[in-house]
């Protein structure tokens, strides 16, 4: 590892080798290249392209390395440190050591450091966005959006750091005062997915650091570069060594590394975003030593269009909610429930909008709105959902098969005549498939929407105020979009009910996930 991949220096020649096939990472036109930190080949800041783990403020190679691929072309982007259990334990120790001092750093100072980290993200937003597109395939415009969203979590929690309050409670005992203190939990193990390689990290880490916790991040194996670039900027911002640690690992090591992190006695908190299946495994680990957990798991978002809806608004919302990140977000609409009076018009307009506005291609191409799926397995799942639905009577309105652009691409697909027994009604597709079910009554729509063991986001379109209240209150989800298809924002609580998870991220509630409540009974007054 050390000889081949230990890119500890910022040597331009070595960095260029990281992106042999990323032909789209070109220098930006008109950019001056004074020979500073920018590589001449790709216009990326060489400082941000890291392959080693980041532990205790140092870049460390691991004994092995794993390849990361560009999902659009399949080409290798680079080899990254494949950390194992020893590296995970070392990172936890570094985080624990740092916690002993970080918890005592004033909230003002923590706030200033988080703000600096945010500012550096904004300064480097072009490069960070390119890294996201290279490793996740997401269209560059969306990657830019993610970087702003991601940086805003650091900004938000830099502000929240200074608003951690306790309480004083007066009881019947006159000679006592009862105090409630909020204290940082300790070391947080943070396990993140590939679909938002940057924002899923800052949403957790911003809150954790603001609260006074330190973190060990295990990023998804598909997208470790964004996590490592964040480490470089954290370091540059002056976040002390050991406060933010990153240990990438391959899929084959994720299980043992996850277990090591989630059972280590020095870890107090686990925060995970990913599939419900993996979340359940981590919950079992957490149970062994009763660790605090936050889980942001899968969804099956219903998108309901009532007869009273403005159909054009509903179509615009459906496009945004379904096709962002090529359908690969946990809040993407998974099931379209459309009332019979508006059904045919909605399907017609939805199909037209898809054919006109969705362009499949490489995320670096200007016109692209639909990049590749993350890997072959993801494409197979969409294909399976389509063929299952068609075999049970669904109609392909548009799309329906793999896209000729390349191996990981699938045509944006609209199915009608979908029924509840089809896989696409029951499982999260995580791809560009929009299945439409027809319903008669509001009660029926609610029953279908709630017939799921998960409940993350739900959307509906209606112009009837009474119906809006009824439906918003009855949907069994953590987040509701009423006449809106995109609802996430740093100021608002993100999270689900049922098997979609535990806890909330972002907002004023997010920081609570990293704070313990301590009651102090102060007597003898
Ligand atoms: P996906 O199937 O979309 O990759 P996962 O839930 O499997 O979703 O992955 C989300 C994150 O969880 C990734 O960082 C992955 O490496 C990690 N992960 C997967 N399996 C395990 C496991 N058994 N223990 C710990 N982490 C895991």
275 lines ligand 1 (CB under 6 A): yes
Does the structure show a pLDDT above 70 at 205? yes
- Residue 193 CB–ligand 1 contact under 6 Å: yes
Q: Measured from the CB, is residue 195 less than 6 Å from ligand 1?
A: no
Average pLDDT over every residue of 287-291: 96
Least confident of 33-42, 122-131, 225-234: 33-42
pLDDT at site 36: 27
- What pLDDT is recorded for position 45? 58
Select from 68, 80, 191, 228 the residue to mutate for testing ligand 1; criterion: most ligand atoms less than 8 Å from CB: 191
Residue bearing the CA closest to ligand 1, atom 14: 220
Residue 155 among the catalytic residues: no
What number is the average pLDDT over the span 172-181? 96
Q: What is the mean pLDDT of residues 38-55?
A: 71
User: Which atom of ligand 1 is found nearest the CA of 219?
Assistant: 14
Q: What angle do CA 176, 177, 183 make, to 5 degrees?
A: 135
User: Average pLDDT, stretch 424-442?
Assistant: 98
212 Cβ below 6 A of ligand 1: no
- Within 274-311, strands assigned E span 292-296, 302-305
pTM: 0.92
Residues 135, 155, 160, 296: which is the catalytic one? Answer: 296
CA of 357 to the centre of ligand 1 (A): 33
CA 170 to ligand 1 centroid distance, Å: 47
CA 523 / ligand 1 centre spacing (Å): 49
pLDDT digits (tens, 9 = 90+) for 258-268: 999 999 999 99
Tell me, in angstroms, the distance from the centre of ligand 1 to residue 221's CA: 9
Q: Is 294 in the pocket of ligand 1 (CB under 6 A)?
A: no
Predicted confidence band at 10 (pLDDT cuts at 50, 70, 90)? very low
pLDDT above 70 coverage of the chain, percent: 91
The residues near 266 (Cβ < 8 Å, ≥ 6 apart) are 92, 93, 95, 96, 186, 187
Q: Is 278 in the pocket of ligand 1 (CB under 6 A)?
A: yes
What would the pLDDT profile of 80-132 be if each residue is shown by its tens digit?
999 999 999 999 999 999 999 999 999 999 999 999 999 999 999 999 999 99
Q: How far is CA 437 from the centre of its chain?
A: 28
Q: How far apart are CA 285 and CA 200, in angstroms?
A: 21
The pLDDT of residue 1: 30
Candidate list 249, 330, 332, 424, residue with the active-site label: 330
Q: SS3 breakdown of the chain: % helix, strand, coil, rounded to 5?
A: 40, 20, 40
For residues 63 and 75, what is the distance between their CA atoms, to the nearest angstrom?
Answer: 23
pLDDT value of residue 34? 29
The residue contributing the CA closest to ligand 1 atom 9 is 274
Asked if pLDDT for residue 2 goes beyond 80, the answer is: no
Tell me the best of 193, 225, 281 to mutate to test the pocket of ligand 1, counting ligand atoms within 8 Å of each CB and taking the most.
193
Question: Counting beta carbons within 10 angstroms of the beta carbon of residue 405, is it exposed (0 to 12), middle (13 to 18) or buried (19 or more)?
Answer: middle
Which numbered atom of ligand 1 lies nearest the CA of 251? 16
Q: Which atom of ligand 1 is nearest to the CA of 249?
A: 16
CB 38 within 8 A of CB 16: no
Give pLDDT, residue 228: 98
Eight-class DSSP state of 331:
T
Tell me: pLDDT of 8 over 70.
no
Q: Is 254 in the pocket of ligand 1 (CB under 6 A)?
A: yes
pLDDT of residue 14: 35
Question: What is the average pLDDT score of the chain?
Answer: 92
Task: Using pLDDT thresholds of 50, 70 and 90, give the confidence band for residue 6.
Answer: very low
Nearest-10 Cα torsion for 70, 75, 77, 79: 120
DSSP 407-471: TT-B--EEEES--TTSHHHHS---SSEEEEEEESSHHHHHHHHH-SSEESEEEEE-S-HHHHHHH
Q: What is the mean pLDDT of the segment spanning 333-352?
A: 98
pLDDT value at position 406? Answer: 94
Q: What is the pLDDT of residue 44?
A: 60
Gap between the Cα atoms of 498 and 318, Å rounded: 24
For residue 493, the SS3 value is: coil
292 pLDDT higher than 60: yes
Name the residue with the closest Cα to ligand 1, atom 18.
Answer: 254
- Judged against a pLDDT cut of 80, whether residue 310 lies above it is answered with yes
């Amino acid at each position: 590892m050390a000889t081949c991949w230990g890119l500890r220096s910022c040597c331009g020649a070595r960095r260029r080798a990281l992106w042999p096939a990323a032909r789209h990472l070109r220098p930006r036109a008109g950019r001056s290249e004074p020979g500073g930190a920018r590589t001449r080949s790709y216009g990326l800041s060489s400082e941000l392209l890291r392959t080693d783990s980041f532990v205790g403020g140092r870049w460390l190679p691991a004994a092995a390395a794993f390849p990361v691929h560009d999902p659009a072309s399949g080409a290798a982007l680079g080899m990254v440190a494949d950390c194992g259990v020893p590296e995970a334990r070392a990172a936890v120790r570094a985080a624990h050591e740092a916690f002993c001092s970080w918890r005592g750093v004033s909230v003002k100072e923590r706030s200033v450091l988080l703000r600096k980290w945010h500012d550096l993200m904004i300064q480097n937003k072009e490069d960070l966005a390119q890294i996201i597109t290279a490793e996740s395939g997401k269209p560059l415009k969306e990657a830019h959006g993610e970087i702003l969203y991601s940086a805003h979590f650091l900004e938000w929690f830099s502000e929240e750091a200074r608003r951690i309050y306790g309480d004083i409670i007066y009881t019947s005992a006159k000679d006592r005062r009862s105090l409630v203190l909020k204290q940082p939990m300790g070391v947080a193990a943070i396990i993140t997915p590939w679909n938002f390689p940057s924002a899923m990290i800052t949403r957790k880490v911003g809150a954790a650091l603001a609260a006074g916790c330190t973190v060990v991040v295990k990023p998804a194996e598909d997208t470790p570069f964004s996590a490592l670039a964040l480490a470089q900027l954290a370091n540059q911002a002056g976040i002390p060594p050991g406060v933010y640690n990153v240990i990438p690992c391959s899929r084959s090591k994720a299980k043992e590394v996850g277990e090591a992190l989630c059972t280590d006695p020095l870890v107090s908190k686990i925060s995970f975003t990913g599939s419900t299946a993996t979340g359940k495994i981590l919950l079992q680990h957490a149970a062994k030593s009763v660790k605090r957990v936050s889980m942001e798991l899968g969804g099956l978002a219903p998108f309901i269009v009532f007869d009273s809806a403005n159909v054009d608004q509903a179509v615009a919302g459906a496009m945004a909610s379904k096709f962002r990140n090529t359908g690969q977000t946990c809040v993407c609409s998974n099931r379209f429930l459309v009332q019979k009076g508006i059904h045919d018009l909605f399907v017609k307009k939805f199909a037209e909008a898809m054919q006109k506005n969705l362009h499949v291609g490489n995320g670096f191409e200007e016109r692209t709105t639909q990049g590749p799926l993350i890997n072959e397995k993801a494409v197979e799942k969409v294909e399976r959902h389509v063929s299952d639905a068609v075999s049970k009577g669904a109609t392909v309105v548009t799309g329906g098969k793999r896209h000729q652009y390349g191996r990981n691409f699938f045509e944006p697909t609209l199915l009608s005549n979908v029924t509840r027994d089809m896989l696409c009604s029951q499982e999260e597709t995580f791809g560009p498939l929009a299945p439409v079910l027809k319903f008669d009554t509001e009660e029926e729509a609610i029953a279908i929407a709630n017939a799921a063991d998960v409940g993350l986001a739900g959307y509906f379109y209606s112009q009837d105020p009474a119906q809006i209240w009824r439906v918003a209150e009855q949907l069994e989800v953590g987040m509701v979009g009423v006449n809106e298809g995109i609802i996430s924002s740093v100021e608002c609580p993100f999270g689900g009910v049922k098997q979609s998870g535990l806890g909330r991220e972002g907002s004023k509630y997010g920081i609570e996930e990293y704070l313990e409540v301590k009651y102090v009974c102060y007597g003898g007054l």
